[in-house]
Amino acid sequence: MSKIGADYEEVKGMLLWNNLKAIHARAEDKGMKAALAATISSGRGPWCVAKPEAPREALQANIEYVCGGAIGDCSAIQEGASCYSTDIVRQASYAMNSFYYAKGGHRSINCFFNETGTKVRDDPSYGNCAALAATISSGRGPWCVAKPEAPREALQANIEYVCGGAIGDCSAIQEGASCYSTDIVRQASYAMNSFYYAKGGHRSINCFFNETGTKVRDDPSYGNCVYPS
């Protein structure tokens, strides 16, 4: 390779790295690592994975970003661990998905990775490697739920707020999904708890909802409906 070509490759790599850091500039908060340790694949997703056609140097940059100090847990992809692989797409997918859930919620921007990430509904787990998903209850709580006595119109407003564009994931309470219910308290509770965890941490203000939310230690999951925690 000529010196010009080598210089170009070096500059291209630096630009890729700088773009990645700029996109995730807020990834300095490491407080979500503890929450991440409480999550395991539920088979419901979604998951954030690497695009198979993504440039290998871009995927390597993603791995180095997440595992080098950003929010995320890469212990499972260390050599000898359950998710270690010589396939860089698998390695990058695990790291990127770890970051995606450590950031809280299912926000697409957290799976962007300079256009090398994509969200999928098919569980990417394989063998003894379980991909992280925030939709399984750790049984540790706390959870944010609707107060049973709260006005129904206020609970409906909470659902519309969370599901209409705020941080949170309402896919599980759509008709036919695992947490759908005709009980508005249950519907609102799931939406409010989704918002609570998507915001990160256990801050009481994120469960306020104009005095209609309350934090509980008893797992509100029921049947096939599992609340994030």
Neighbours of 196 (CB within 10 A): 31
Enumerate the β-bridge partners of residue 144.
Answer: 215
For CA atoms 172, 177, 183, 184, the dihedral sign is: positive
**Cα-flanking dihedrals φ and ψ of residue 121, to 5°?**
-100, -15
| Domain range annotation of the chain | 3-120, 143-216
CB 134 within 8 A of CB 200: no
Reported as a single tens digit per residue, the pLDDT across 124-150 is 888 778 766 543 334 467 889 999 999
Q: Which residues contact 123 (CB under 8 A, 6 or more apart)?
A: 41, 43, 45, 47, 131, 133
For CA atoms 176, 179, 180, 182, the dihedral sign is: positive
E strands within 26-142? 47-50, 117-120
Reported as a single tens digit per residue, the pLDDT across 154-174 is 999 999 999 987 677 788 898
pTM: 0.46
Work out the average pLDDT over 49-77.
Answer: 89
The SS3 call for residue 129 is strand
How far are the Cα atoms of 105, 107, 113, 180 from residue 17, in angstroms, in the given order? Answer: 25, 21, 10, 42
Enumerate the β-bridge partners of residue 225.
Answer: 222
Confidence of residue 20 (pLDDT cuts 50, 70, 90): very low
